[in-house]
Chain A
Amino acid sequence: MRPVYVAGAAVHPFGKHPGIKAADLGYAAVRDLLARTGITPEQVDAGFGGSTYGGSLLAQRVLQRVGVSGQPVYTVENACASGAAAVHLGWQLVATGQADCVVAFGADNLTGFGGGTLPLTTGDIEIEQGMVMPAAYAMRAQRYLHDFGAAPEALSAVSVKNRRNGAANPRAHFQGEVSPADVAGSRPIADPLRLLHCCPNSDGGAAVLLCSAEIAAQLPTPAVRIRASAVRSGRFHTGYRDMTWPEITARTAKAAYAMAGLAPSDVDIVELHDAFAIAELLHAEALGLADRGQAHKAIVAGEFDRDGRVAVSPSGGLLSRGHPVGATGATQICEAYWQLTGQAGDLQVPGAEVALTHVTGGGIFGVDNGACAVHILTTD
């Protein structure tokens, strides 16, 4: 396989955009991406668009508006990992020499559902019993606190850190800091999780340009290399699985580290799937950023701060940036791109050379998550 580069990134700011459809959010990001890179429609060999709620043929509806029409185009649905899956498929085409230049994006608009917990649509027995995503993560949180003697304050420390990071991110849904007392005093959602332990349902779009070395060299924008792109599905069973160990993340990350020839200790910044505060602790351990059962100590000690041992979600993560599900994986790549090219502004982690992005998709019956994607990007 040949090297694949990210040579451009663009995001439609996340937030509540009730009047803007998913296709319009994706279009805004893709139009901006082409403007920034100067790529013409004829240069685009293929397009992939990730979305969960954006409707049929979203990728076509977005890309045809900027002249990418006639080429192979796919709309990808992998729940919260849809955007990252779109990037992965684009990476495959470039890595295998089937394409030189691919647009990959993600977009979703969740405002249309109104407030409250996201509707789960797969109709399995747990959903028929009233299962909602916060409840699944709440039970994982209860068991984690129980097994490792962690205090609920560790969960709040995740929210405080990520809201602090997001306060400096102009693309984030929430751009204000919160205190531990704010988190502890927010409305209970599913014990022990409170409102500020949960990411918001947001609207947004994000797009990246994936290309060969030859194309990257011709563009005015800097490029970073994708060292690894891995996607895995959840292992289905209805037995006694350990819900404090997201093995899908561990398995996907192991494949990505092997592909990149890098170890967790090499990583400078991580954008991970903190849909709920407990998720940062679980996934940080599964990604090898902390020892098993120790992430709750690492977060409290500031090891995941922007100036800590490893910067976890310097963009603010899902807790601050928001979670328009299909757009999340793509926007993580954008944030990593800006970090590695020194364009992250107030979010910049000085000297960042290795970035890892991680997103898991969907709570469906019998698996902790239906899909997981891990990307590792480097400055060269």
Chain B
Amino acid sequence: MTTVETVGGEWIRRDGDNVTLTITRCHACDARWFPPRDVCSHCASTDVHDEPTGDRGVVYASTVVRAGPAAYRPPYVLSYVDIDGVRVLAHGGTGEAFAPGTPVRLGIGEIGRTDAGPLMSYVITAEDGAR
């Protein structure tokens, strides 16, 4: 039997092919947080609520990790992606790093594999026509 572990799975929303993330917005100071939280880490207000992001973002920076933990099977591409006020780390792409500014779309995919089975999480793919 194979167990599927999903990193950050409790914050991933899936509706058919549409994948979004749950973030927290603070009503007192408008800060946004990912992963979600019940107290604003800027102003400590509890006047916060969770909301979904969109399903698209823009790459801030990206790299190909060629020496890293075996579970993630280097080389793997890591990117910081800006989505609706939060910056998230995501796997995705193949071969080379995304250029800063690349528009990307959220999805779900395998980011690694352990003895227990595949490791899933949210991942990014370049939007059609983008590289």
Contact = CB atoms under 8 A, between A and B. Distances in A.
B86 A135 contact: no
A145 to B, nearest CB: 10
Interface in A97-123: 116-117
Contact of A238 (B7, B86, B96, B97): B86
Contacts of A128: 7-8
A142 B41 contact: no
A143 B60 CA distance: 7
Contacts of B82: 240
Contact of B66 (A129, A147, A188): A188
B31 interface: yes
Interface string B18-44: 000000000000011111000001100
Interface string A308-341: 0000000000000000000000000000000000
Nearest to B76: A130
A262 interface: no
Interface residues of A, number: 33
B63 A138 contact: yes
B34 A243 contact: no
A142 B77 CA distance: 13
Contacts of A189: 65-67
Contacts of A237: 31, 33, 41-42
Given A130-B111, A139-B61, A140-B61, A240 B87 contact: yes
A181 interface: no
Which interface residue of A116, A135, A193 has the most chain B CB atoms within 10 A?
Answer: A135
A129 B79 CA distance: 11
A356 to B, nearest CB: 28
B91 A129 contact: yes
A366 B42 CA distance: 12
A131 interface: yes
B125 interface: no
B129 interface: no
Nearest to A241: B87
Nearest to A115: B67
Interface in A225-240: 236-240
Given A129-B90, A130-B76, A135-B68, 19 more contacts: A130-B78, A130-B91, A131-B78, A131-B89, A134-B67, A134-B68, A139-B60, A139-B62, A139-B63, A142-B100, A143-B60, A143-B100, A146-B99, A188-B64, A188-B66, A190-B64, A191-B97, A237-B41, A239-B86
Q: Which 8 A-B pairs have the closest CB atoms?
A: A130-B72, A139-B61, A138-B63, A143-B61, A191-B64, A128-B7, A126-B89, A190-B63
